[in-house]
Amino acid sequence: MLETLQHLWHTLLALPHARAWLTAAWVLYFLGLGSWILLQKREPVATLSWLISLAALPYLGFFIYYIFGPQRLTRQRLRRRRTRLALPPSEHDASTQELRTLAQSTTGYAPTTACDVRLLVDGCSKYPALLEAIASARHHVHLEYYILEPDHTGRSIRDALIERASAGIAVRLLIDAVGSKRARRTFFKPLIDAGGEVAWFHPPKLWLPWRRPLVNLRTHRKIAVIDGRVGFIGGINLTDEEDPRRRTDAYRDLHLRIEGDAVRKLQDLFIDDWAYATGGRNFINEIACVMPRSCPGGVHVQLLTSGPDSPWEAIHRLHVSAIHDAKRRVWLATPYFVPGEAALMALTSAALGGLDVRLLVPKRSDSLLVTLCVRSFYDDLISAGVKVYEYGPRMLHTKALLVDDQLAIVGSANFDYRSFRLNFEASLLLNSARVAEQLSDLLTGEFQHAQQVSAQRPKPLLAVRLPEAFARLFAPLL
């Protein structure tokens, strides 16, 4: 094969003026693709990363950018906002707190409250709680997940949904077409036969070249709503990989179970996504009629959403703003730490200002390139006073931010470019001393089982510094 390609290449170069034509074609390719990238008006570092990466891939780079390059979904975003208006408004806290105002302005969701919030650590806590809630459903079950695997965990959730659908309960399951690609349609046939509905978010349609594919824009959300009264949100997917009862190397992760008015917001979000993915809206009035009465609780909650259907990067902004508002401590746990300039400056400024700033990341990510890229930030962080911890041997998958003794953000969003800009994400901003104390206790235990990175860590040129610097070049693309 290689010899054939070499022969074709030499034959091409033997043609009259071949080199001049190839050079002109490359210049036209680079100018055309470069103009397209520049018109996206992204950060200069991201723009340069794309230009440098694709300049070395003549012609092939066009198709790579066409499929995986950043996109905005303006039309879809407008449809999603119109859908949300169909549900009745709920009562909410009229607080004028700056963070809440910022959150409402960037997401369109008003502040609300919860009467019960429980931290669920790992799948061994989350899955039984979810199965119990599904079994108690009397009207509907709504699930939206990035990954649902056809393994023991996935089958147990599917079978629980089948049982409810067979009992006449409305079951709607929305899964990401790429994240859940191993769960084929035949896997869900028994659920569909029982009366349940299954939809795939952004299925790749590469056979339609006239429509730009949405392969790179995924729903990374992990939410569930049962009868509008119980909700789940966090980072735990539906897979044996997150259940230590099934695998000794299961991910370490965190989820929330909530009750109260905040569940209404999760319901709004699911309906938005379901209507966007399927076009189905006929059930909205029916759902609105069975929603529980408003019952304000003691935990102030704000639903945070972000994705390529909004230019505001709400979750990114809220993280940065919360860090800037910190007075005593900032504790951040994330499996993927690839910050932009604003986020990195916020963390280092907090540490330089004398705050207790800690970062918890996995010792080894599920991607070597990401692991190296994350480590490339260590020196700047540690020199500013940030305490960096590596969790292992299990893969840390928790996404949580704790600020002082009152504020917490927990959800699906990683601390990286992809979560802040490309993925559809969902997190909760919680203003509660009780929840903050529980999260503090959890993270304290995680720090005790992690190793603090030393400023004097070995950094040989070829084994550490050069690979980390190289991986850093791809930060805006990860």
Q: Which of 122, 227, 272, 273 is catalytic?
A: 227
Better-scored residue on pLDDT, 214 or 82: 214
E-assigned strands of 276-334? Answer: 299-306, 329-333
Helix, strand, coil share of the chain (percent; to 5): 45, 20, 35
Instruction: Inform me whether the pLDDT recorded for 299 exceeds 90.
Output: yes
More confident residue, 349 or 50: 349
Which one is predicted more confidently, 210 or 103? 103
Residue 160 pLDDT greater than 60, yes or no: yes
Judged against a pLDDT cut of 50, whether residue 291 lies above it is answered with yes
Q: Which of 303, 192, 190, 173 is nearest to 238 (CA)?
A: 173
Per-residue model confidence (pLDDT) at position 72: 57
Structure confidence at residue 70 (pLDDT): 59
Q: Tokens 């859940």 identify what position?
A: 180
- The answer to whether 275 touches 187, Cβ cutoff 8 Å, is no
- Residue 216's identity, in one-letter code, is N
The model's confidence at residue 294, banded by pLDDT at 50, 70 and 90, is confident
Is residue 176 flagged as an active site residue? no
* Mean pLDDT across 210-220: 74
CA 190, CA 203: separation in Å to the nearest integer? 21
Decide if pLDDT at 268 tops 70: yes
Per-residue model confidence (pLDDT) at position 75: 34
Distance CA 267, CA 226 (A): 9
Q: Write down how long the chain is.
A: 478
SS (H, E, C) 359-373: EEEECCCCCHHHHHH
Helix (H, G, I), strand (E, B) or coil at 329: strand
Residue listed under structure tokens 């509905």: 197
**Listed residue (31, 22, 29, 38) closest to 57, CA to CA:** 29
The helix-helix angle for 60-68 and 18-38 (nearest 10°) equals 20
Could you tell me the fold of the domain covering 314-477? Endonuclease; Chain A (3.30.870)
pLDDT at 76: 46
**Rounded Cα–Cα distance for residues 316 and 398 (Å):** 17
Q: Hey, what's the torsion of the CAs at 407, 413, 419, 424, to 10 degrees?
A: -110
Global pTM reads 0.84
pLDDT-derived band at 246, boundaries 50, 70, 90:
very high
Closest-CA residue to 319 (of 337, 343, 339, 300): 343
Provide the phi-psi class of 403: left if phi over 0, else alpha when psi is between -120 and 50, else beta. beta
- Residue 343 predicted with pLDDT over 60: yes
Interatomic CA distance for residues 227 and 231, integer angstroms: 9
Contacts of 108 (CB under 8 A, 6+ apart): 81, 84
Query: How would you classify residue 426: left for phi > 0, otherwise alpha for psi between -120 and 50, otherwise beta?
Result: beta
Name the active-site residue from 142, 265, 300, 399: 399
Bigger pLDDT: 59 or 313?
Answer: 313
pLDDT at 94: 41
Query: Cα separation of 62 and 95, whole Å?
Result: 48
- Residues above pLDDT 90, as percent of the chain: 62
Contacts of 203 (CB under 8 A, 6+ apart): 177
What dihedral do alpha carbons 170, 429, 414, 40 form, nearest 10°?
90
Asked whether the predicted pLDDT for residue 387 surpasses 60, the reply is yes
pLDDT in tens, 23-45: 676 677 667 666 756 666 566 66
Catalytic residue among 92, 202, 220, 300: 220
Q: Which of 4-8, 203-207, 363-367 has the lowest mean pLDDT?
A: 4-8
pLDDT of residue 81: 46
Partner residues linked to 219 by β-bridges:
424
pLDDT for residue 1 is more than 70: no
Q: Count CB neighbours of 39 within 10 A.
A: 8
**Range from 35-49, 212-226, 269-283, 372-386 carrying the lowest mean pLDDT:** 35-49
When mean pLDDT is compared across 34-48, 154-168, 171-185, the lowest value belongs to 34-48
Is 397 in the active site? yes
pLDDT of residue 83: 44
Above 50 in pLDDT, residue 185? Answer: yes
pLDDT at 54 over 90: no
Q: What integer best gives the mean pLDDT of the chain?
A: 86
For position 219, what pLDDT does the model report? 95
How much is the pLDDT for 84? 47
Tokens of 273: 């996504």
pLDDT value at 329 more than 90 = yes
pLDDT at 249 exceeding the cut of 80: yes
* pLDDT band for position 289 (cuts 50, 70, 90): confident
Q: Are 182 and 226 in contact (CB under 8 A)?
A: no
pLDDT of amino acid 56: 63
User: Which pLDDT does position 473 carry in this prediction?
Assistant: 78
pLDDT digits (tens, 9 = 90+) for 410-461: 999 999 988 998 899 999 999 999 999 999 999 999 999 999 999 888 888 8
**Predicted local distance difference test score (pLDDT) of residue 77:** 44
- The full set of domain ranges for the chain reads 19-68, 74-98+115-295, 314-477
**Dihedral angle sign, alpha carbons of residues 370, 372, 375, 376:** negative
The pLDDT assigned to 5 comes to 57
Q: Which amino acid is at 226?
A: I
Concerning whether 220 is annotated as a catalytic residue, the answer is yes
The residue type of 384 is A
Is 295 exposed, middle or buried, given 0-12, 13-18 or 19+ CB atoms closer than 10 A?
A: middle
pLDDT average, residue stretch 183-207? 91
Q: Which CATH class is domain 74-98+115-295?
A: alpha beta
Average pLDDT over residues 295-323: 93
Residue 376 has pLDDT above 60, yes or no: yes
